[in-house]
Amino acid sequence: MPTPSESQMPAKAKKAYHHGNLRTVLIDAGVRAVAKRGLAALNLRELAAYAGVSPGAPYHHFADRDELLAAMAEEGFTRLEVELIAARDAVGAEASARLEALGRAYINFAISCPGYFRVMFHGDGKSSGPSAPGLRAFHLLRDAVLACQEAGTAPAGDPSALVLTAWSAVHGFATLWVDGALPFEGMRPQQMAPELGRLLARMFAALARVPA
């Protein structure tokens, strides 16, 4: 016979809790809260209430709010890496096409997963530096730029400035959209993401044709 606390627990959360998935439930709930109400809305006690567990239960998985934010960011970068690889591999081996695909996937991830995106780049979770998935996502972009250089569709030399330019362009647009800073009529990120990637690829190709 279930205890009174168990009978009051939402069915989905109750099943997840008894299967040992409370950590995942809390991360998912946190992402939804941040997407809907911003980082300030993240509260362990509220997430515990959502999961149907005691206020102290989340602390078995996260010492504090910062640890939860760090776990959410780690999950977000892992998901981003998967989407970047899938988009890159779907367009074949042509270097410029791969660079375009990465930019398009980056923006689409931010638009479709604003909760993760906000935590990944604006959270205040404890961190000693970039996470392993975060570094891998960065290296995907760097490798794409290097491939363009080898193909002659990007200027030769140190790729750092090119990588920073490409990342700044897609990240800046994604951040403006997620933060609601694009009030202009007719601006649709899903339509602009492919165009932004094409512009970057064309710009790099044009610079590659300029004599050093």
Residues 107-152 have pLDDT tens digits of 999 999 999 999 998 765 555 566 788 888 899 999 999 999 999 9
- The model's pTM is 0.82
Q: Which pLDDT value is given to residue 145?
A: 97
**Nearest CA-CA partner of 21 in 51, 54, 63:** 51
Same domain, 104 and 201: yes
Same domain, 13 and 90: no
Q: Which pLDDT value is given to residue 128?
A: 54
- What burial letters (b/e) apply to 127-164, b meaning 16+ CB within 10 Å? eeeebebbebbeebbebbbbbbbeeebbbeeebeebbe
Asked if residue 37 belongs to a domain, the reply is yes
The single-letter DSSP state of residue 190 is H
**Nearest CA-CA partner of 103 in 192, 168, 193:** 193
| Contacts of residue 19, Cβ cutoff 8 Å, sequence gap at least 6 | none
Q: Which pLDDT value is given to residue 123?
A: 62
Q: How many domains does the chain have?
A: 2
- Give the structural domain span for 167: 72-208
Asked if residue 18 belongs to a domain, the reply is yes
Residues of the chain with pLDDT under 70: 1-20, 123-130, 183, 212
**Nearest CA-CA partner of 17 in 41, 53, 42:** 53
Same domain, 116 and 165: yes
Same domain, 107 and 195: yes
Cα dist from 202 to 106, 141, 154, 161, 190, whole Å? 18, 16, 9, 16, 20
Residues 28-40 have pLDDT tens digits of 989 998 998 888 8
